[in-house]
Structure 1
Amino acid sequence: MQTVAILGRPNVGKSSIFNRLAGRKIAIVDDTPGVTRDRKEVEAEIGGIPVTLIDTAGLEEAAPETLAGRMTASSDAALRQADLVLFVIDCRTGLTAADRAFANWLRRADVPVLLLANKAEGRLGIQNAMEAYELGLGDPIPVSAEHGDGFGTLHDEVRDHLQKEPRGQRGERERPLRLAIVGRPNAGKSTLLNTLLGEERMITGPEPGLTRDAIAVQIRDEVGPIRLVDTAGLRKQARIEKDLEKMSTGASIAALKEAEVVILVIDALLGMEEQDLRIARLAEREGRACVIAFNKWDAVEDRAATRKKLDDVLTFSLAQMKGIMVVPISAANGRGIDRLLPAVREVHDLWNRRIGTGELNRWFEVMKDRHQPPLVEGKRIKLRYATMPKARPPTIAVFGTRAEMLPEDYRRYLVNSFREKFDMPGVPIRLNLRGTDNPYAEGDEE
């Protein structure tokens, strides 16, 4: 079993991240620096891989005989034991001298490092996280331990790094696609799972809320294994009153965040309601690919009008996932089910797709020529170049002078044209902006 160690200076949220990855509250969480003085270890599963997870005392520069010094020694011991380090910074506070010092220390260590920019709630938090590029530890992963944002991406990155390690010890096992079935109560999620399994694995019935826990099963299609999770129905927050309902909703959200693709089941007789849109937006915010299963299609009388109404809602209320795949099905009798998993595989391939730097920048130059970046505070924003540091979801990093000041309409212009040019319907696309000059570009011009 491989070991993952969480390191960072005190009070950046290491223990909160530890608790989330462990799946239960183990470490004491408090705002007082230095609460975690000893290493804590737990066996956990991250990205489908069993690991030993270590939470460490905060890294501090201090004399060895002091408490802070002993905490640092404990972190050093964890580093020597680790197959992968999660280095945590607080992007609300910004980079500190201690962050930079320990980043230098980690760069010298012969251990792969993932850089976590914690407390990155909202768009401003994600933009603040980009400052962490300065540490030279690769692409920062914006997360919020408090809200659970970004943990799906974290699971993906941990899995990808650990599977790069010597494979002889683990063997060449197939990696299952992680798929979650989500939706409002009584939309037909469990019936869909039973149909996919070909057996009555879930209890189904007309009473809403029969499924209380997120339940995982493994199936295979023509491509390979799929780890499929059926979840309790996601209800409106005002209706979550009992502890059991809170736990069920929490399990649903956790399953969505740890999935790669989600199937959003919608009752075609009711149409797409506000709660369905909230679930879809949550999937987009977490960077998950999504397919809509338009259930009970066989009972719809005016199919043309029903489909047009759905398309209108998606166009005007879910523009950030333009082109999302919709598969009309009847989970009860199996009609349309044969097209559902192929759609999941197709959107999963798009979600994993990378565009080469040369091809990306040829598109980028055309977009800039077609529509120049605007003036901001009387100065021209000069966009230099673009890279695609990661997929899962497709992520574009744009560099240039005052790039971080790019207005929202120009950001949408770039994302929409990227989606159209590279044929990526229905998948979330991330755009990260860095106000740093290309060292090979000409000097700045006003």
Structure 2
Amino acid sequence: MRVSIVGRANVGKSTIFNRLVGKKKAITRDISGVTRDRIEDAVDIRGKKISFVDTAGFDNSKDKMTKLMVEQSLKSLEDADLVLFIVDAKDLENPFDKEVAKALRKSEKKIILIANKCDNFEMASNLDILTRHGFGEAMPMSAEHNIGFQELFDIIMDNYVENEESDEGDEKYDLKMTFLGRPNVGKSSLINAILREKRLVTSDVAGTTRDAISLDFMYGDKKVKIVDTAGLRKKARVVDDLEKASGVMSNNEVRFSEVVVLVTSSETLLEKQDLTLARKVIEEGRVLIIVVNKFDLVTNHNKLRNDLNDTLASSLSQLEDVTVLYTSALKEKNVDDIIFKSFEAYEKWNKRVSTGKLNQFFEGVIERNPPPLSQNKRVVKLKYITQSKTRPPTFTIFSGNKEKPPESYQRYLLKAIRETFDFKGIPLRLNIKAPKNPYTKK
């Protein structure tokens, strides 16, 4: 069942959404227009799966951004089984509520009218005026003080509708990917091009995306979760509290992703901030794919590719052969390659090499290039190797003593593993495990 939460700006929709899903997934502030895209999350309520959708506030402003936001809010009604129409109990006479009610009546959906910010009995006694909207009595509640949610759950369950998603249980994805990058490089436009629909609000204004927007997408018979994030700038340049909250949310999404698509622009290529983001992705052990968007603006393709390769070789040497794609969201050029290459890299990220094959390889590597002396100028005795885990592929070398080879030799071993077993562009881990001292007391 899908429940859309709608209403004019700043009536507390996102606070209600966060309470319903049990997490701070939508950014909330006491200013209008914070939420711009649809945000969706599914929870289990009394044994039933329910998806809640937070939407941008309806507004009568004529600017382009507001029109795009309202357009997305109206689209949320198409798939809704139930609509929560939120009004402000402290502003019952607001004329724009009538406009919202008019749009909701056209949808012919089941509407539950809710008067939020209803903090006392006196305010609750004044709600009869809301019957003029044609949706019956308004339910009083206060999201800020967590009042009225049990009653709301009762109403939702009374109107529960079974649909195809209701029996799926916990959502299982074949791939989880996050789009990351600086503001205004075209992340949302790329996702819209992949989905073949204008699902995300896009504009030439930097910072259009604020929340982390999660979307489900079918690639053939594979279910993919795509997350669009707010553009990230250098910390020194971020002074707005809202932008800081967006940045924290974007960084958190990296930890829960399997593939991270770092989007940059052909106009600026990789800046210092992009490289910082790339290193963070690698440190988290996630698959990194670099996408150079707006490639249709480039006249000298070879020069741009050479410049980018030079930058990667000098500034991102810890991950050789990272996948780089050149796309144009505007022309829808090479956008499908992003999903194809993501699945290709994901398979390598999950790959496991048998211990037998690893040690045949390891013996040859040690024979050709024995480990140098340790930092303590002692002999390093490496015995055998095994792959201890995947996601990311992690290898453990068991040593005959407590001495570890220099970092340069460990990098040499990782490079040899990457080339021999086709882990190109995949972050790898290497552990050196020393033997236990049998005389150490447990």
Please confirm whether the aligned pair reaches a TM-score higher than 0.5, indicating the same fold: yes
Q: Which residue is equivalent to 1:271?
A: 269
User: In structure 1, what is the Cα distance between the partners aligned to 2:359 and 2:207?
Assistant: 49
Q: Which residue is equivalent to 2:396?
A: 397
Q: Residue type matched to 1:417 in 2?
A: A
Closer/same/farther in 2, CA of residues 223 and 428 from structure 1, 3 Å limit:
farther
The secondary structure found in structure 2 opposite 1:387 is strand
How far residue 175 of structure 1 moved from its aligned partner, in angstroms, is: 3.0
Q: Which residue is equivalent to 2:184?
A: 186
The secondary structure found in structure 1 opposite 2:325 is strand
The answer to whether the Cα contact below 8 Å between 2:173 and 2:225 also exists between their aligned partners in 1 is: no
Q: Which residue is equivalent to 1:320?
A: 318
| Greater C-alpha Rg | 2
The secondary structure found in structure 1 opposite 2:391 is coil
Query: What is the aligned-residue identity percentage?
Result: 39
Closer/same/farther in 2, CA of residues 170 and 400 from structure 1, 3 Å limit:
farther
The secondary structure found in structure 2 opposite 1:396 is strand
User: In structure 2, what is the Cα distance between the partners aligned to 1:420 and 1:260?
Assistant: 22
Q: Which residue is equivalent to 1:388?
A: 387
Q: Residue type matched to 1:428 in 2?
A: P
User: In structure 1, what is the Cα distance between the partners aligned to 2:215 and 2:364?
Assistant: 46
Closer/same/farther in 2, CA of residues 44 and 279 from structure 1, 3 Å limit:
farther
The secondary structure found in structure 1 opposite 2:292 is strand
Give matches, 1:164-243, under 5 Å.
Answer: 174-243=172-241
Q: Residue type matched to 1:369 in 2?
A: E
Q: Which residue is equivalent to 1:107?
A: none
Deviations 1:331-353 (Å, cap 9, x if unpaired)?
11201112221111111111111
How far residue 174 of structure 1 moved from its aligned partner, in angstroms, is: 4.8
User: In structure 2, what is the Cα distance between the partners aligned to 1:332 and 1:403?
Assistant: 57
User: In structure 1, what is the Cα distance between the partners aligned to 2:437 and 2:386?
Assistant: 12
Question: What TM-score, normalized by structure 1, do the two folds share?
Answer: 0.59
User: In structure 1, what is the Cα distance between the partners aligned to 2:315 and 2:191?
Assistant: 28
User: In structure 1, what is the Cα distance between the partners aligned to 2:322 and 2:399?
Assistant: 31
The secondary structure found in structure 2 opposite 1:381 is coil
Deviations 1:334-382 (Å, cap 9, x if unpaired)?
0111222111111111111110010011111111111111223232110
5+ residue gaps, structure 1: 1-21, 26-42, 51-168, 440-446
User: In structure 1, what is the Cα distance between the partners aligned to 2:220 and 2:414?
Assistant: 33
Closer/same/farther in 2, CA of residues 223 and 282 from structure 1, 3 Å limit:
farther
Give matches, 1:246-265, under 5 Å.
Answer: 246-265=244-263
Question: What TM-score, normalized by structure 2, do the two folds share?
Answer: 0.60
The answer to whether the Cα contact below 8 Å between 1:321 and 1:427 also exists between their aligned partners in 2 is: yes
Q: Residue type matched to 1:249 in 2?
A: G
Q: Which residue is equivalent to 1:430?
A: 429
Q: Residue type matched to 1:429 in 2?
A: L
Q: Which residue is equivalent to 1:415?
A: 414
The answer to whether the Cα contact below 8 Å between 1:399 and 1:438 also exists between their aligned partners in 2 is: no
User: In structure 2, what is the Cα distance between the partners aligned to 1:44 and 1:254?
Assistant: 20
Closer/same/farther in 2, CA of residues 204 and 403 from structure 1, 3 Å limit:
farther
User: In structure 2, what is the Cα distance between the partners aligned to 1:242 and 1:402?
Assistant: 53
Q: Number of residue pairs matched? A: 279
User: In structure 1, what is the Cα distance between the partners aligned to 2:344 and 2:266?
Assistant: 23
How far residue 403 of structure 1 moved from its aligned partner, in angstroms, is: 5.4
User: In structure 1, what is the Cα distance between the partners aligned to 2:221 and 2:312?
Assistant: 29
The answer to whether the Cα contact below 8 Å between 2:194 and 2:336 also exists between their aligned partners in 1 is: no
The secondary structure found in structure 1 opposite 2:217 is strand
The answer to whether the Cα contact below 8 Å between 2:380 and 2:403 also exists between their aligned partners in 1 is: no
Q: Residue type matched to 2:377 in 1?
A: G
The answer to whether the Cα contact below 8 Å between 1:178 and 1:260 also exists between their aligned partners in 2 is: yes
Closer/same/farther in 2, CA of residues 173 and 211 from structure 1, 3 Å limit:
closer
Q: Residue type matched to 2:334 in 1?
A: G
How far residue 294 of structure 1 moved from its aligned partner, in angstroms, is: 1.1
Q: Which residue is equivalent to 2:28?
A: none
Q: Residue type matched to 2:406 in 1?
A: P
How far residue 271 of structure 1 moved from its aligned partner, in angstroms, is: 1.2
The answer to whether the Cα contact below 8 Å between 1:400 and 1:437 also exists between their aligned partners in 2 is: no
User: In structure 1, what is the Cα distance between the partners aligned to 2:274 and 2:425?
Assistant: 16
The secondary structure found in structure 2 opposite 1:283 is helix
Deviations 1:388-426 (Å, cap 9, x if unpaired)?
011111100111034563211011001111101111111
User: In structure 1, what is the Cα distance between the partners aligned to 2:400 and 2:220?
Assistant: 48
